[in-house]
Structure 1
């Protein structure tokens, strides 16, 4: 029960902070069932881009429990254009805990921590429309316990 209340409060805080940012284009987080990210589960996020002259920064949001068994998380993204063409596919390593001390990074208290990682800086979109980002956990483990939610944020890049 405590975890559920903390999860709702944390997601609410992220939404409130995103609502205050005039450069925020998109922000969405998806909870993972039973705080386990399976290999088969590939969260997909869709966002609209109309201004093709603007550059955008794309962030990945990760929420993990302190019992997560690794200091890092590998995530592969696939970015698709409105016509379905693959624009990019990269593997990202995100450091959730200090490798030496095991201390959690990110924002949080107790046993739940939120992280936001800049995944794609200054991304240019050449056609208006709905873009998709598909995220896959790439830890070579069918079930990855301790990952509670993943998300994507898109912001206008500073010029």
Structure 2
């Protein structure tokens, strides 16, 4: 019985460390770390609480092989037959424009010594969404059709604080 109480107390901080604001987070991985122009990543998520505002975030995992400091992304947010955001374009800075240093946290190093940076950037903040199923479509809008150094993209839907 003492062991049970000890383990319960030992695990308590980990339970509080869980992120209670997140509803869903998902990624699409790209072959050979190349994001092709014609590659549209589609994600589906459900909203269960209508009385809370949400933040919709764009997630990216990239390396220093990515050849630009910025990234243009086009997204659609669809609920059933209603398109809430259609071909919305936004620009994100992945690297500091003057220093060239990557933004984001270095989360892992590939076998060849290349660090992967993970970054979350806002698509929409404090939005009111009705309950139901939503579809989010993401694609890049950059001049080269193939973007090297992009391991994965995704999204995160969370409760706004």
Counterpart CA distance in 2 for 1:151 and 1:97 is 19
Deviations 1:100-138 (A, max 9, x none): 111111100652111010111011113x21101000101
In the TM superposition, residue 140 of structure 1 has moved relative to its aligned partner by 2.4
Q: How many aligned residue pairs are there? A: 139
| Mapped contact 1:28–1:153 kept (Cα < 8 A) | yes
In the TM superposition, residue 84 of structure 1 has moved relative to its aligned partner by 2.7
Structure 2 gap ranges (5+): 1-13, 108-113
Deviations 1:26-84 (A, max 9, x none): 10111111111111110111100121221100111111111110001111110001x23
| Mapped contact 1:67–1:111 kept (Cα < 8 A) | no
Which residue does 2:147 correspond to in 1?
144
Work out which of the residue numbers 70, 77, 83 in structure 2 matches 1:72.
70
Which residue does 1:84 correspond to in 2?
81
Which residue does 2:159 correspond to in 1?
156
Which residue does 1:117 correspond to in 2?
121
Which residue does 1:12 correspond to in 2?
none
Which residue does 1:98 correspond to in 2?
96
From the CA coordinates, give the structure whose radius of gyration is larger.
Answer: 2
3-state SS, counterpart of residue 141 of structure 1: coil
Counterpart CA distance in 2 for 1:67 and 1:39 is 17
Which residue does 2:25 correspond to in 1?
27
Counterpart CA distance in 1 for 2:129 and 2:157 is 12
3-state SS, counterpart of residue 99 of structure 2: coil
Counterpart CA distance in 2 for 1:125 and 1:95 is 27
